[in-house]
Structure 1
Amino acid sequence: MSSIRCHLDELLAERAMSLVELSQRIGISVVNLSVLKNNRAKAIRFSTLLAICEELQCTIGELLDIDED
């Protein structure tokens, strides 16, 4: 079964940025970002995707991919 995998941890590490710092910069709660980071999110708003990608200067494809088990 396939699933969507989030690479937020890796992107933050590459940019030496914490989840708290990202949360403050984009105005999304740490809890919501943590759910996404830990691959427990069931849905995500396009506005949230856009805010994350703009702040981290990445594409949606760099943030998310399909994990085929």
Structure 2
Amino acid sequence: MPAEEDLSRLHCRLDELLEERGMTLTALAEKVGVSLVNLSVLKNDRAKAIRFSTLIALCDALACQPGELFTVDAHRTLG
């Protein structure tokens, strides 16, 4: 399977960042202008894509860089 199809290796750290900042998912949704449902999909690692404009808005709201929001599991190999 090509690497771009193995999306299960990508992890969104939204829960951790929200907890560190004392912010709720609802507050983030309001601040960023993204629906609670879409943020929940992202938070639960079910998203298959993210718009750059959304990524920038999330990073601005959370005062973070994209690399703090997402990690890639390098130990999981393609089979």
Q: Which structure 2 segments of 5+ residues have no match?
A: 1-5
Query: What percentage of aligned pairs have identical amino acids?
Result: 58
Following TM superposition, the consecutive aligned residue runs of length 4 or more in structure 1 with deviations greater than 6 angstroms are none
Question: 2: distance between equivalents of 1:55 and 1:15?
Answer: 10
Higher relative contact order (CA 8 A, sep 6+): 1
Q: Report the TM-score when normalising by structure 2.
A: 0.83
Counterpart for residue 10 of structure 2: 4
Higher CA-based Rg: 2
Number of residue pairs the alignment of both structures matches: 69
SS in 1 for 2:9: strand
- Partner amino acid, structure 1, of 2:52: F
Q: Report the TM-score when normalising by structure 1.
A: 0.94
1:62 aligns with 2:57: no
Q: Which structure 1 segments of 5+ residues have no match?
A: none
